[in-house]
Structures are given as structure tokens and as C-alpha cells.
Amino acid sequence: MRTHVITYGCQMNEYDTLTIQSELVAGGHDLVDAPQDAELILLNTCAVRGKPVEKVVSVLGDLRKERLAGRDLTIGLMGCLAQLDEGRELATKFGVDLLVGPGAITEVLPAIEDLERAREAGRRGRVDRLAFADDLVHHLTPPPPPGTLTGYLTIMRGCDHHCTYCIVPQTRGPEVSRPLRAIVREAEAMRAQGVDEVVLLGQNVNSYGRDDPALPSFAELLLAVAAIGFPRVKFTTSHPMNFTSDVIDAIASSPNVCDYVHLPVQSGSDRVLRRMAREYRRARYVEIVEELRAKIPDVVLTTDLIVGFPGETEADFEATLSLYDQVRFDAAYMFAYSARPGTPAHQHFDDLPRALKNERLGRLVERQKHWSLEGNRRFEGREVRVLVKDIARDGDHVVGHSDQHHTVLVPKAQVRRMGLHRVRVDHATPHALYGQVVGAETTSVPLVLAS
């Protein structure tokens, strides 16, 4: 069957899509690049915020119209949205044929086979696979295709924290760490395939091993992966409650573990943090930042911030602005609070007016631009290592990321192959560094950008 997979949301979903695609190919399916060429379309969904759900609803509506116009098409809804009542309701509304939760992605083929048998027998209806699969943590995802420079590697699934705004514990279940041997085998296969940068993934990546005393700590795992020989190792996402000194020491002591940390704070107000059920307070977060910068002077720190959480006062929001000034984040993912059905915040708190949330978000964005520019200017005149991955939108530059995770652009004429390059930074903007190539490093599987 000709199959197309559409992926929404986080890097863990991208990793899951690789697993899904490998299962499909092993089962004899042909993967096609264009949805219009497919007989089966699978949507691997995200449910963390309302906007990704709106995108899925729009696509499901379009696919239903194509069916009504006579197109013979099978539709599957997968990922976090599929695990929720909201997803089941959408599946019924739009006539979805397959419903597969994020813990059952290795059961895609059996679900398709059950659907085909039912149709051959003249039965219509949906096939669901929503139970969390116990063996998923042992499953080995094949390495990405040759030429892939960045590989994603999930080291654990689920989350034991219960933030009042977050749906993840309901969609992905409790924390389960993958066996060290499985992680190392996947990492070694990636490196052998030519991957230069590996990104370790988890809902709460630095709590790895806490569910099983036989496993190493996250810091020990980080060192083990770094020893495999990747030029660059990154990880995301971290929780301040589990960001311990040994993790900071592992970053500081390993040249190939990037001096980049994404550490979501969500709010600068202790009152809001309590309402969010975040188990740390502002003072503890600042202590972590101070230790990071003392041990890793060039560390680039990014964060997540939610604006307009239910009950947030002007004083609470001002506390977030003052935290931004105190920490001087290099960048931030900022969102106006989006109520998610099934979360405690949605059930028990009254939402703030959209106009107020958007006004506060705009003010925070302006603060972020100021500190991002200040942080990026630190690198003007310096040399950074950049993993060039693609042609920029303007067509005149190529774009990649530095070891510190800056977006870096250099003239396209200076780069003939994708891969690692040394770049001298000429100038900075709030969102990127611009520079000139001063040298190239050997890459495992370089890709030609220009003849």
C-alpha cells in the first residue's frame, strides 16, 4: 500500500515516525513523498497545545472532502492526540480508520492487517491500538538514511511530573527508561551511518534511570554516548527538578557535549509556579543557572515560558519579565496559555482573556529580542563550529547551528558540502549569527549543495 506519514509536534514524534516508517517498509508498504499519491495517510499528532490540534482538524476536514469526492483513502490518526478522548471524538467525526496511541507505534502493521481483514469480511469500523506497549522501550529504531547529519534518539518515555497545564502524562504514561544497551546500540548505528550530531530525547530527559536502580544516571549515560565519537551531542528537554550538578559536570568535561542547555522555567512567579505544580521555585532555578555559567562560561541557555496562565496577575507577569532580565536567556519558546481538555488547569481554573494574554506575550517577545541580541553579540568576531544542513530561504546563504545551538548563516558560495565548518562571526541579530567560512571539518557523508 502506498503510504504517506505527516508528523506534527516535537522531536520525539519525529523519532517515532522513523519507527513507524521502518515498520511499514518491513511490512511491504511503499512510502511516498506526496500525500496525493498515497492510499494510506497517517497523521502522527501532537496535543500539547491547541494550535497543532487545529492543524490536524483542518487536514482531516480536507481528507474527508476528498473521500466524499470519490477518493479511495485510508486514514490513520496516531500520536498524543489519538490517546485522548478529544482524538477519539475527532476520529469518529471525520471517519478515521486507524487510531494508534504513542505507546503502540510498533503495532501499526497488525492494526492495518486487522482493518484489511475486516473490510474483506464486509465489516466497516475503526481499529484502535491505544494501550501502552511494554516492549516499546526495547525496540531498536533503524538509523536514519545515509546523508542524515542529525539523528534523534529517544532514551526514555513518559513523565512522572504532573504540571497542571500538561497533557503528556495522559498521552505517554509514566516515565520508563530504555535499557542502556539499546540506547548505545542505536547510537553506534547512527554514528556508523555518518550522523555527526545526536540529540538525546525524553519528556524529562535528565530523569533517565530514576525508574530503575540498575540503570546509570543521565550524566553517566551522557558520557557513554559522548564516548562513541559523535562530534556533537545534545539533549532535550530537561526539568529543573532533575538538573543536578553531575549533569553540569558531564557537559563541562566533555568537549563534544554541546555548551547548550534548554531548561524550561515556564514562569518567574512563585505563585504561578505553585498553580502550575512545578516542584521548584524561582530561587532554585537561578541557582542552577549560576552553577551552569560558573562551570561552562560560554553556555547558551534557552527556556520555555507560558504567558497568561490562569490567575496570572500583572505582578506575576512582571516577575517573569524580571526573571528574564536576571537570567538573560539567549532565546525562549514563548506561548500564550492554551487550555487543554483533560488537564487540571482546564478543569479547575478560569482562563484569562485572549487579548490580555496576547498583549503580555508581545511584551515578553520584545524583552526576549533585547537579550537574544545581547547574547548573540558575545560571539561577534569569534570562531564557531557550525553544522551546515540546508539552503536558507533567501537562496543566497546556507544555514546551520553552532555548537551552542545558534542559527548561523554563511554565503552559499563559500560552502560546497553540508557538514561541519568553522565560521568567523561577522555580526549578530536577535535570531541568528552571520559569518564567513574559514575552514571545513571532515564529515562522514557530505551532501553536495552546489556544483
Q: pLDDT tens for residues 261-311?
A: 999 999 999 999 999 999 999 999 999 999 999 999 999 999 999 999 999
Question: Does this model's pTM top 0.85?
Answer: yes
Q: Is residue 268 located within the same domain as residue 195? A: yes
Residue 446 lies in a domain: no
Mean pLDDT value of segment 127-140: 75
Q: Is residue 249 located within the same domain as residue 388? A: no
| The pLDDT of residue 248 is above 70 | yes
Q: Decide which of 377, 412, 432 is a domain's last residue.
A: 377
The pLDDT of residue 19: 87
The pLDDT of residue 378: 96
Residue 220 lies in a domain: yes
The pLDDT of residue 105: 87
**Distance, CA of 359 to CA of 356 (rounded, Å):** 5
Q: List, for residues 357-406, the tens digit of each pLDDT value.
A: 999 999 999 999 999 999 999 999 999 999 999 999 999 999 999 999 99
Q: List, for residues 200-242, the tens digit of each pLDDT value.
A: 999 999 999 999 999 999 999 999 999 999 999 999 999 999 9
Q: Is residue 200 located within the same domain as residue 70? A: no
**CATH code assigned at 313:** 3.80.30.20
Element (H, E) at 425: strand 419-428
Q: Is residue 398 located within the same domain as residue 432? A: yes
Q: Give Cβ neighbours of residue 395 (< 8 Å, ≥ 6 apart).
A: 412
Residue 95 lies in a domain: yes
Mean pLDDT value of segment 256-263: 97
The pLDDT of residue 250: 97
The pLDDT of residue 124: 84
Residue 447 lies in a domain: no
Q: List, for residues 160-190, the tens digit of each pLDDT value.
A: 999 999 988 888 889 999 999 999 999 999 9
Q: Decide which of 377, 409, 426 is a domain's last residue.
A: 377
**CATH code assigned at 79:** 3.40.50.12160
Q: List, for residues 59-110, the tens digit of each pLDDT value.
A: 999 999 999 999 999 999 999 999 999 999 999 999 999 999 988 888 899 9
Q: List, for residues 26-59, the tens digit of each pLDDT value.
A: 899 999 999 999 999 999 999 888 888 999 999 9
**Structural domain harbouring 281:** 135-377
Residue 451 lies in a domain: no
Q: Is residue 164 located within the same domain as residue 296? A: yes
Q: Is residue 351 located within the same domain as residue 422? A: no
Q: Is residue 187 located within the same domain as residue 250? A: yes
Mean pLDDT value of segment 331-356: 94
Q: Is residue 361 located within the same domain as residue 419? A: no
Number of compact structural domains in the chain: 3
Residue spans of beta strands (DSSP E) within 180-323: 197-201, 232-236, 260-262, 300-307
Measure the N-to-C terminal CA separation of the chain; round to a whole number of Å. Answer: 37
Q: Is residue 240 located within the same domain as residue 107? A: no
**Contact present, 319 and 269 (Cβ < 8 Å):** yes
The pLDDT of residue 132: 64
The pLDDT of residue 144: 86
**CATH code assigned at 393:** 2.40.50.140
Q: Decide which of 133, 160, 191 is a domain's last residue.
A: 133
Cell reading at 388: 551546515
The pLDDT of residue 445: 42
Q: Give Cβ neighbours of residue 323 (< 8 Å, ≥ 6 apart).
A: 265, 268, 282, 285, 286
| The pLDDT of residue 138 is above 90 | no
Phi-psi region of 277 (alpha: psi -120 to 50; beta: other; left: phi over 0): left
Q: How confident is the model at residue 451 (pLDDT cuts 50, 70, 90)?
A: very low
Q: Give Cβ neighbours of residue 136 (< 8 Å, ≥ 6 apart).
A: 103, 104, 105, 106, 157
The pLDDT of residue 442: 56
**Contact present, 143 and 193 (Cβ < 8 Å):** yes
Q: List, for residues 392-448, the tens digit of each pLDDT value.
A: 999 999 999 999 999 999 999 999 889 999 999 999 999 999 999 998 765 544 444
Residue 393 lies in a domain: yes
Mean pLDDT value of segment 139-148: 84
Q: Is residue 192 located within the same domain as residue 318? A: yes
Q: Is residue 107 located within the same domain as residue 249? A: no
Q: Give the helix ranges, DSSP H, for 152-268.
A: 168-172, 180-192, 218-226, 245-253
